[in-house]
Amino acid sequence: MTLVLTASTLESLASMTETITAVERGFGDIARGTALQPGPLSLHLPSSEARYLLMAGMAESQGLAAVKLLSDIPANHHEGLPTQRSSILLADRRTGETLALLDGRVPTRIRTAAASAVASRFLARPDSSTLGLVGAGALAIAHVEALMAVLPIRKVVMWSRSASTLAAFKARTAHHQIEFVRASSVQHVVEEADVLCTLTPSEEPLVRGEWFRPGLHVNAVGARPRPTHREIDSEGMRRSRVFVDSMPTAIEKSGDLMMAVAEGVITIDDVEGELGGVIAGDVMGRQSEDDITLFNSVGIGMLDLAIGRLLYDAAVLHGLGTSIDMSR
């Protein structure tokens, strides 16, 4: 039987703390060779800006193979439709049975924030207390919860172009007992932050490396999965010790990285390594208090697998979702 899990069901099942643990294990499994993370496949035709990305992963410990189809369609914005949609398929690694089909919106949001939390746990200064957010949408709300789980965050400084988005952000985060400050500019956010998260679908850089101060950690996770879209300028990449979620994926999909390379400011060899290598102890993370570290993530299939395992198990435990016999 295949369990179909909708967005509303998944929202009720998602646990940030459990996802952080599962994502950390997933990154480490890749580095240890007990999980497989292939590069992504990006499908597009000259007649459209739309891209369809296949993001896969397989892991021994979770007993799964997984694949997500991510549809990235900028033109949907003009139709009042989501510009990104996705579905995740989970298969039993031993038998090949299709266990579940999940709407991808909630898992993608939660595991993306969890990945930033894991990166911050290993790369940020342990005493980091001010979180800076460029962007204030649903992903920013998830990042507040995630970063508070791993660091002593006492203040959040946020910026958004949209007053309504900021109002919704404040309403959804008001229960956190910390200080929230609305920044006057992106520069204000960067200069205040100990940990900076860039969470916008920007095509051109919003964040300039000249604003970075010693000791900063950056999670650059918002730009669309395209090698020509970026949030961080080349100077920001040059000044940082850069870590990625997956090198093949970053080369294929990260504009933050590949545009800096194209401009001749850095080379691929300047990337310190993958986050999983830091977790496994094979790659040196932060070396000093003054290091500027940057985690550049465009998303990998292993993270969908990691949260998919959690959500599927929780749905089975609570008797949620719709079971369908796909073989009939």
Average pLDDT over residues 189-215: 97
- Torsion angle of alpha carbons 76, 79, 80, 81, nearest 10°? -40
Q: Which of 268, 261, 189, 273 is nearest to 228 (CA)?
A: 261
Average pLDDT over residues 16-25: 98
pLDDT tens for 204-259 read 999 999 999 999 999 999 998 889 999 999 999 999 999 999 999 999 999 999 99
Q: What is the pLDDT of residue 225?
A: 87
pLDDT tens for 258-316 read 999 999 999 999 999 999 999 999 999 999 999 999 999 999 999 999 999 999 999 99
The dihedral sign for the CA sequence 235, 236, 238, 244: negative
Q: Classify residue 268 by its DSSP letter.
A: G
For the chain, give the mean pLDDT: 96
Is 253 an annotated catalytic residue?
Answer: no
The CA distance from 230 to 263, in Å, is 13
Read off the tokens for 88. 């995740």
Find the angle CA(113)-CA(139)-CA(231) to the nearest 5 degrees. 90
Average pLDDT over residues 136-162: 97
The pTM of the full predicted model, rounded to 2 decimals, is 0.96
**Among 68, 155, 170, 253, the one annotated catalytic:** 68
Q: What is the pLDDT of residue 40?
A: 86
pLDDT tens for 66-116 read 999 999 998 998 999 999 999 999 999 999 999 999 999 999 999 999 999
Give the pairing of strands 64-72 and 51-59.
antiparallel
Give the DSSP letter string of 158-225.
Answer: EE-S-HHHHHHHHHHHTTS-SEEEE-SSHHHHHHH-SEEEE----SS--B-GGG--TT-EEEE--S-S
